[in-house]
Each structure stands twice: as C-alpha cells, then as structure tokens.
Structure 1
C-alpha cells in the first residue's frame, strides 16, 4: 500500500508539473524538471486561418535513425494512428531541423521519466541554456511558427481525436499509441494544439500521460543509447531511412 501511494504521489507531482508549465515563464518552465511543456506566445497554427490540410501527413509508417554520442537510435514513426504528428516529425527530420539540437531536459529521479529535446534555438551554441525548451519550428515558407494539433487515436477507433485530450473528449478508451518505455511523443504547452518540434523519449512506462500527450512512434533499437543521454548532449544527425515516400506535403 505504501509503495502504491508513493507511486501515485510521484505521478501526481509529474502531472502537476505538466499543467503548471504551460502557464509558467520560460525560465520557470525550464527549471521544472518534470515539465514536458513548451512555452508558446502566439496562436497555434491549426486555427481556421491555417487548416490541418496545410500540414505534412505521414500515410503509413517510416523509420528514422537518430545518432547521439556516435550511436544510433532507431525510431518507428507511426502515421497510421498519428498521421499529422508523425508527418510533422518526419518533415522536420528531412529538413535537418534536429541536426545539432540539444537534449535540454533529462529526468531520471525520483524515477525514470523522460529525455526531451528538439528546441530549434539549441542549434545556436550561444543561446542561453536556461531558456531552452521555449522554442518552436519556424516555417521558412511563412516565417511563422508551425504548430500541430493534439492528435490521439483511441484504441479501436477509425480516426483520431483532434484538439482535445481523451478526457476532455469524454473518451474512456486507452490510446492506440501509449506511453510505454521507448515511446516517442510531442511536448506541448497547456494549449492542446501547441506542439511544434520538441519531443521526448519515455524512459519508463508512463500510463498517467496516456490521452494527454500525443505519442507518434517508438524506439525499436538503441534504447540503451537513450538511457545514457545526459542533459546537454546533442543530436548529431537524424535521417529518414525507410518510408519517406509515405510523407505527403
């Protein structure tokens, strides 16, 4: 009973960090080690003025190999259950957006949680490290930040729930893509449709995040590499090795 209570309290603390992070200042968001949120100061680009049809989609699956500390991490990206989220990630990989970026948040205590990176500001070695975790991908075609909607497919459903958590949508089913160890998912602020380029690896099964954050893939090889990532390590390269033809822009 004491072990279950401790686990529940830790989970509650982590969820609280996620919720609070979306409303915090950039400095506060960066200092909260359990916060998956990213700071957004503009309206997400999935409003009526910029519909989802303008976003890349992945129709099927793709394989991405990310190299960190000289070793490969193989990610299966699932466009079947998260076509827009997966399409955004694969498009950013193809653009070279992730090459050279920093893992700015690594949380292993009090229990394994996440390794988070993908802030484009991290490519600048002079950018203050305490502000990493606040940036988004700026689309050169529009000179505006690109945001993707929260996209979660309930188990057994034909299409994803868009723009809402499963709880908000009153869906009781678990997601098709869950926060199991090795899951790859998008970080966001408190606004559901605010994910852009920042992502995280789940270091353990994190069922309390299911239905709130969009999982779009899974590490199939190289989880031992993920386990060794330290805060400040950089993504040396990220390449699409299979399924590039499934990306539709």
Structure 2
C-alpha cells in the first residue's frame, strides 16, 4: 500500500509525541526535537531478558478482562498475557492497585484524522498538576520507592518468545507483530528509550499500522469503542477494575529476584 507522507505526517508528529516525554525520567525538551527519533536509542546497559530482571515484574499468564468507566459508561479491554505477558501483567497489576482511578486522558488526537487517546499518567489525578506537565509521569512502586519501568516487549507473528528491548527495525525483524495496531488496540506509551514504558497507555481510534513493531500492544477494546470515540482531553477514568482473569496475574515475591 502506498504511504501518503503528506497525509500521515500529522499522525507521525503525534507518534513522536507518544514517544517523547511520555514516561518518568524523560526529558520534556526532547519533544521539541523530532530529529531525536532518527537515531537508534541508546541501548540499555542490562537486557531485560535477564531472568532476574523479568522476575522483578508482574506477569500475566493467560488472559484478563479490564473494565474502565469513563463518562459513566464502560470500556471493556481484553488483556493478552499470552502474547505480551510482562506488558499485560504490568497493566493488570496497576489496575488492581487502583493506579488508574481518577486519572485523566491528557492527549486526544482526532484531527486531521483519528489517531489515539492517551492516558495513565498518575499525576493527572491531581488537579493541581499543570497540564503542561502531564505525559511525563509514571508508576512509582510504594514498596521500593523506585519508578517501575518495563521492557519493550513485542512478539513476532509465529515466534515462541517476544523480542525485548528493541523495535523490530532495530532487531532486523521483518515479520508482523502478533498483536497489531488495529482500531481499538491498547498499547504502552514510552520515551525514546525502548525500556521506558511505565503506566501510560493509549487506545487507537483507527488502524495505525506504522506503529507496529515499535510499540507494545497488549490488549484490545472488545466493547465500548463508542465510549472511546467520545473521549475528550481531560475526561477521567472514574474506575478501572479487573473483572475476570485476576488469578492469572503473577506478582514477584518480595526479594525473590535479588537473592
């Protein structure tokens, strides 16, 4: 299919916005420099495929169903731990902790064509936080006092294990991801560094194939896309609830990974 650069350029700018300044520890000024995305991100010092690192993170062994209440109406998300166990486990764990309750969608892009709604910044639950600061926050683990970052995790179609810490382009992978950015896909926002996703997520308002292989999709809206379509910037997640599959969430045992 022919790529219409002129038509897609506004959406690409928003993709840059999804990438830059979307998580704790990012440099907001980098968002003013689109050229920053042209070079591969600096590799992390330790690969998250190290079992000790993965053992420190929640994991979803199977499926779960999450319900978001927005503007008094439910949005049902099927969370796919089979294809994205760490990313899905992180999301379900944060839902169960109540991290998303009261947070607001700080980025909504529909013009010049539908793109995404983005939320999940814990700062957005505090009305005193300036709007200009939203999109820079992430989850801090109260037990450790440290930000929780999760690795970029994308399963190539037909593969047994996800690829970690690299986009498909960086890893030289030509296959499609098992989970793609079709309308209603739920995926993690991150900074320019692959392993910087925390709590922020977005829902696609249309098919967005050029994000495939660069961002981690972990779920799909199965009911309530009409509610998603009506979300405006500043709308709150009144509640987020795991309604099914919580037994599939595996949390790390305290101190297990550090022994």
Which of 52, 55, 60 pairs up with 1:53?
Answer: 55
Q: CA-atom RMSD, angstroms?
A: 2.8
Structure 1: stretches of 5+ with no match in the other structure: 36-42
SS in 2 for 1:236: strand
Report the more deviating stretch, 8-17 or 166-175. 8-17
CA distance in 2, matches of 1:21, 1:134: 5
Q: Which residue is 1:7 aligned to? A: 7
CA deviations over 1:165-221 (Å, ceiling 9, x no partner): 011111100000000000000000000000000000001100000000000000000
Question: Does the CA contact (< 8 Å) of 2:49 and 2:164 recur in 1?
Answer: no
TM-score relative to the length of structure 1: 0.87
Which of 192, 200, 203 pairs up with 1:201?
Answer: 203
Q: Which residue is 2:130 aligned to? A: 128
Cα drift, residue 125 of structure 1? 1.4
- Give the 4+ runs in structure 1 shifted more than 2 A: 1-30, 43-50
Report the more deviating stretch, 140-149 or 50-59. 50-59
Change (3 A) 1:15 1:102: closer
Give the count of matched residue pairs: 239
TM-score relative to the length of structure 2: 0.84
Change (3 A) 1:178 1:49: closer
CA distance in 2, matches of 1:87, 1:49: 16
Change (3 A) 1:108 1:72: same
Change (3 A) 1:10 1:2: farther
CA distance in 1, matches of 2:51, 2:178: 30
2:159 matches 1:157: yes
CA distance in 2, matches of 1:95, 1:163: 26
CA distance in 2, matches of 1:205, 1:166: 19
CA distance in 2, matches of 1:91, 1:201: 18
SS in 1 for 2:207: coil
